[in-house]
Amino acid sequence: MCPSDEGQSSINLSDPFARMIRRTFLGARRALSPRGLRFVSGGEIIEDVSERAARPHLTEQASLYVHWPYCLRRCSYCNFNKYIPREDNQHVMAACLQREAETLLQLSQVSRITSVFFGGGTPSLARPSTIGAILETISRRVTLSDKAEVTLEVNPTPAGMSKMEDYCRAGVNRFSIGVQSLQDDDLKILGRDHSSHQALQTIEEAQRLCPGRVSVDVMFGRPRQSAETWEKELSELLRVCDDHVSLYQLTLERGTQLFKLVQQGEATVPADDVMAKMYRRARRTLHQSGFLQYEVSNFARNNAVSHHNTSYWKGTQYIGVGPGAHGRFVPLGAGAVAREARTQTLEPDMWMREVRQRGHGTRRRVQLGRLELLEEVLVMGMRMTEGVNHEHWELFSPQLGLHEVFGTSTEVQELLQSGLLILDDRGLRCSWDGLALLDSLLPALLVELEAQILSRPHRDHGADGQTQKTSNPR
Amino acid sequence: MSLCALSPLLSRVCRFKVCRRRVQECSTTRCTGWRRRCPRRLPVLCCGVRSVSTQTDKENIDLSKFPADRIRNFCIIAHIDHGKSTLADRLLEMTGAIAKTEKNKQVLDKLQVERERGITVKAQTASLFYSHQGQQYLLNLIDTPGHVDFSYEVSRSLSACQGVLLIVDANQGIQAQTVANFYLAFEAQLTIIPVINKIDLKNADPDRVESQIEKVFDIPSEECIRISAKLGTNVEKVLQEVVNRIPPPVASTDDPFKALVFDSNFDHYRGVVANIAVVGGQVRKGDKITSAYLGKTYEVNELGLLRPDEHPTQKLFAGQVGYMIAGMKDVKEAQIGDTLYLQEQPVEALPGFKPAKPMVFAGMYPMDQSDYPGLRSAIERLTLNDSSVTVQRDSSLALGAGWRLGFLGLLHMEVFNQRLEQEYNASVIVTAPTVPYKAVLSSAKLIKNRRAIQKNMVYIDDQRVMMKYIFPLNEVVVDFYDLLKSMSSGYASFDYENAGYQAADLIKMDILLNGRSVEELTTIVHRGSAYTAGKAMCERLADSIPRQMFEIAVQAAIGSKIIARETIKAYRKNVLAKCYGGDITRKMKLLKRQAEGKKKMRHIGNVEVPKDAFINVLKRKDK
């Protein structure tokens, strides 16, 4: 699997956002009354309904993730949901992905899909026609603009590369290439099935097909890697890559081959301090090459950010299609009013059976309460260099601003004073140093958020507030 | 339970005290359950009934028929595991106090901890009726703990006795606590009857043990009685010798009533049950008695013999040992060592005892502060029956509210802790034992660098050597005995006694986090070992505090002088760079858990210290 955590459209997000909001208001007005009716007739308030009540447009659109669960082999570091196919069941898989996409789109009642991402597994094992069929299914149901970002993760093998042109014809307009390393020895340790030469060729081909819309994934903290060799390797990569880089630290995951090797002492990964140095140097190197960091692990120049991933970090809805895919959306079609965290069945055969039986393979649905939703907005938003700005926060928390939530906490004050965190009239965000320590900052912020939310009961939680909000035609 | 206790019929038919005792500790349902089970137990009970019938006779026996010269009060003392309690079982069986069955294994050891560890923790009393040369004798047997920690129990018990059975294992010979207990008895000027036990063992060498006894205790070898308590061999002889050799108590029924409180228990329903030795006169049910210590007066509700279960009688006479319930509601009212006399007839108080002096102190804290009330009541109830534990409220910023408890020794502490867990289902954090004092070491080869001063060395025989050292106690309390055992492959035994306080070069050591003192970690250390101790604490603390966003200096300081330092480096990066396909659930869970954990952190300045860190540093290391 080639993890893709990359990017979004522009560093200045306020503009597209404002446009999006304006557009969706129209749709919102259209859709409001039936939903309002359903809600009122339902009679009772199930959960927190602030999302829908305050910002109907948020439920009008979503991004869509499609998970292709198959790989040809197992990478030594990967614990992601992937399977080595026993037989060619592309047709069945393709049909099921389409079927589930249809079901979930219907369930979400979104009118528009803003971006599509094909991840995996190894989605470049899918036939271009499969990708095309899924995209067609989407656009048959909802608006999928020609301009909408459609990304596909590509394994830089000759086979993957040979299909790229056809993927583009099928509707893909962005490639994310799992380069991981330019050292052939390391690629072997990682269990990758490509060479660095093939990777460079794939980048070139992708750039030819989608200039300015090619991302490379690269991994640091590999066994035996030093900060110096890493920096050199990255510089080399930056000379040939396009405008987007996703940077990953190799994480030893339980159950992987690499984990076992390290446990047995047969491999070592760099110490924490070395990892920190690698990250710092990479940030510096990328910056010097004109790449702006817009998220913890994502860098872009010429505004070539990933729209798809940015929508995750912005807390907008997303629909996950395919085995083990995750989604976050309000299943309006089922009469729900609150956002749900949804997970699809992991195992492909099981998932396919479920999709054939009932149209989708959703295994788990958890309703997100007001606090949970805000926690996700905060955690995801803070990954971005721009952080959570006031407007963004207000979409989800109209009553309680960032200053009110975090302004009074002594601990947050200390973080502000130490220069790790910034809270100003733009919003809340990490400083350059703070971003590298995000996981240490977040618990403090979460503690404060919880305390504030729990100490102030949601004012429009009553039926009156709901009715008023939902029936307001604006 | 009250049903059972109040039913006279039931009490007569069965070995009621055993069940009463047990039932008192549990609920009514248990009692009714027992009643239902009763018939099925009949075969066992038959024997019981036989002995009870004699008991019933004796209940009516006028204890005044046992003047002081027909009474023998004695203790069994020994090194741990030399067979005290087994001998006690045989003596009880032979005198009909308990039925003779296979099941009599350390009958007097009633506590779960005693049964599990096979040790005696609490001294127990049993009155035996024994016929010797046509005369009925009342023998009062006190089974005492063998372990040195409980020597306080031993010395108390000895005060109610005129003689002791000193049991020595025929295989192991004289061990450390054999010596210690011998001296306790010897100093109390009691008659000592050496009993060589376990002669049935294959490796038994009673000759060698006799010569050891002769050499070390200066007791002629012909005075030794060779027995096997397990098989009952020669045990009759022990009883005969008790009557022959141990002098009767010097007491006259004509004197005014005077009794020594030598032990006390607490019963939830009846209040304090005091174990008393009547030194003079007599006491009867309904008498008004006064405590010399408190000057408070009580009415005697119940008194009787312990056989070993309570066996009510109308009166107790001079020289006799028994129990008394007199409406004392607090165990502190039955001050051990107190003298009781009849109201309006004051007597000169008996010398009493020095209060038990705790030797080892440890903090005890509930695992969770919400468990505090439960643990408090558990400790209160347990200390009611173990007044040698001192309790002081304490609080630690890290561990919350708790107590500082003083124990007679390490085993005592462990036993207490185990009883808390077993009998009260309480779970506690025990901090490392502290306190500087000294110890005497005896036996076996061992070279130590623990500030010990050798006092003497005696070869007990060609195989065994006794060495005495003066030790600072804090060198001994934690792991010395275990080390000694392992170095000597289990052959060495160890005993200590308080050698008084000696001037020592002790200093207060602070532990600092980024320059701020962590008060719960402040300790007293010997100057000579301050560096090592400080370094060890810093290391343990540094290992237990997760890295934070800034560097943390962990320092040990004496006054303003830093003697050890560990550095916890700052995180320079703590962000995992991935969120595959929108799967943020796992990430959220992890962060939420960290956020929850954060609430439980103790803040020293801006350093967050997990509670575990204190526990890791303070807790006794597991063996």
DSSP per-residue string spanning B244-263: HHSPPP---TTSPPEEEEEE
Do A327 and B581 contact (CB within 8 A), yes or no?
Answer: no
Q: What's the pLDDT score for residue B8?
A: 35
Residue B599 burial (C-beta neighbours within 10 Å; 0-12, 13-18, 19+): exposed
Of A65, A318, A443, which is closest to B598 when you measure between CB atoms? Answer: A443
Superfamily for domain range A56-311: Aldolase class I (3.20.20.70)
Q: Which range among A210-224, B146-160, B275-289 shows the weakest confidence by mean pLDDT?
A: B146-160
Percent of chain A clearing pLDDT 90 (strictly above): 69
Q: Tokens in use for B221?
A: 């070898």
**A281 inside 8 A of chain B by CB:** no
Smallest CA–CA distance from A447 into chain B, residue: B595
Phi/psi for B55 (5° steps) reads -60, -45
Residue B299 CA to residue B561 CA, distance in Å, equals 63
- A347-350, long-range: CB within 8 Å, 24+ apart, which pairs? A347/A83, A347/A323, A348/A69, A348/A70, A348/A83, A348/A93, A348/A323
B513-544: b or e for each residue (b if 16 or more CB lie within 10 Å)?
Answer: beeeebebbebebbeeebeebbeebbebbbeb
Phi/psi of residue A254, each to 5°? -50, 140
Q: What is the mean pLDDT of chain B?
A: 74
Q: Hey, which of A210-214, B220-224, B512-516, B558-562 has the most confident mean pLDDT?
A: A210-214
Answer for the pair A153, A119: CB distance below 8 angstroms, yes or no: yes
Min Cα separation B209/chain A (Å):
56
pLDDT at B500: 53
Q: Is the pLDDT of residue A296 over 60?
A: yes
State how far the alpha carbon of B283 is from the alpha carbons of B36, B66, B299, B332, B338, in Å: 38, 14, 11, 22, 16
* Least trusted range by pLDDT, from A196-210, A429-443, B254-268, B416-430: B416-430
Report yes or no for ipTM above 0.90.
no
Q: Which residues pair with A177 in a beta bridge?
A: A154, A216
**Are the Cβ atoms of A440 and B582 closer than 8 angstroms?**
no
A338 min Cα distance to partner chain B (Å): 17
pLDDT on residue A404: 94
Specify the CATH number for A371-455; select among 1.10.1330, 1.10.1760, 3.40.50, 1.10.10.
Answer: 1.10.10
Tell if the CB–CB gap between B579 and A450 is shorter than 8 Å: no
Q: What pLDDT is recorded for position A52? A: 43
Q: Do A297 and B588 touch (CB under 8 A)?
A: no
Sort strands B302-306 and B310-313 into parallel, antiparallel or unpaired.
Answer: antiparallel
* Residues 307-346 in A contacting B (C-alpha not used; CB under 8 Å): 312, 318, 320, 325-328, 341, 343
Q: Is the confidence at residue B124, as pLDDT, over 50?
A: yes
**pLDDT value for A358:** 95
- Is pLDDT of A38 > 80? no
Nearest Cα residue to A430 out of A288, A285, A276, A295: A295
Q: Do B578 and A297 touch (CB under 8 A)?
A: yes
Axis-axis angle for helices B585-599, A370-381 (nearest 10):
100
Residue positions of B in the annotated binding site for GTP?
78-85, 143-147, 197-200
Q: Is the pLDDT of residue B451 over 70?
A: no
**Contact check, Cβ <8 Å, B578/A65:** no
Q: Is B580 helix (H, G, I), strand (E, B) or coil?
A: helix
Q: What is the pLDDT of residues B281-311, one digit of tens each?
A: 999 999 999 988 888 899 999 999 888 788 8
Which has the minimum average pLDDT: A83-92, A335-344, B70-79, B185-194?
A83-92
Q: What is the pLDDT of residue A35?
A: 37
In this predicted structure, which of A382-396, A420-434, B38-52 has the lowest mean pLDDT?
Answer: B38-52
B88-121 burial, b at 16+ Cβ within 10 Å, e below that, comes to bbbbbbbbbbbbbeeebebbbbbbebbeebebbb
Residues of A in contact with B547 (CB under 8 A): 272
Task: Tell whether the model's pLDDT for residue B570 goes beyond 90.
Answer: no
Rounded CA separation A304/A466 (Å): 40
Residue B456 has pLDDT above 80, yes or no: no
pLDDT-based confidence at residue B77 (cuts at 50, 70, 90): confident
Which of A296, A320, A443 comes nearest B577 by C-beta?
A296
Indicate the residue of A272, A328, A438 with minimum beta-carbon distance to B575: A438
Optimal mutation site among B545, B568, B579, interface A, most CBs of chain A within 10 A: B579
Identify the band that residue B123 occupies on the pLDDT scale cut at 50, 70 and 90: low
What's residue B148's pLDDT?
Answer: 57
Q: Collect all residues of chain B within an 8 Å Cβ-Cβ radius of residue A272.
A: 547, 571, 573
SS in 3 state form for B138-177?
EEEEEECCCCHHHHHHHHHHHCCCCEEEEEEECCCCCCHH
The pLDDT value given to residue B65: 82
**pLDDT higher than threshold 70 for residue A345:** yes
Closest CA–CA distance from residue A182 to any residue of chain B (Å)? 20
User: Are A440 and B577 within 8 A, CB to CB?
Assistant: no
B469-505: pLDDT as tens digits: 665 555 555 455 555 554 554 455 555 555 555 555 6
Give me A195's structure tokens.
């060479």
**A420, B549: Cβ pair inside 8 Å?**
yes
Reply yes or no on whether the pLDDT at A473 is more than 60.
no
More confident residue, B46 or B329: B329
**Is residue A368's pLDDT more than 90?**
yes
Please tell me the predicted confidence (pLDDT) of residue B55: 41
Residues of chain B with Cβ-Cβ distance to A343 below 8 Å are 585
Size of interface A-B (CB pairs under 8 A): 113
Question: pTM of the full predicted structure?
Answer: 0.57
Domain borders along chain A are: 56-311, 371-455
Q: Would an 8 Å CB–CB cutoff place A105 in contact with chain B?
A: no
In chain B, residues with a C-beta closer than 8 Å to the C-beta of A420 are 549
* B→A interface, C-beta within 8 Å: 547-550, 569, 571-585, 587-588, 591-592, 594-595, 597-599, 606
Please judge whether B574 and A325 are an interchain contact, meaning their C-beta atoms are less than 8 angstroms apart: no
Decide if pLDDT at A457 tops 80: no
A80 contacts chain B (CB < 8 A): yes
Out of B572, B591, B606, the one facing A443 most closely (by C-beta) is: B591
Measure B587 CA to nearest chain A CA, in Å: 9
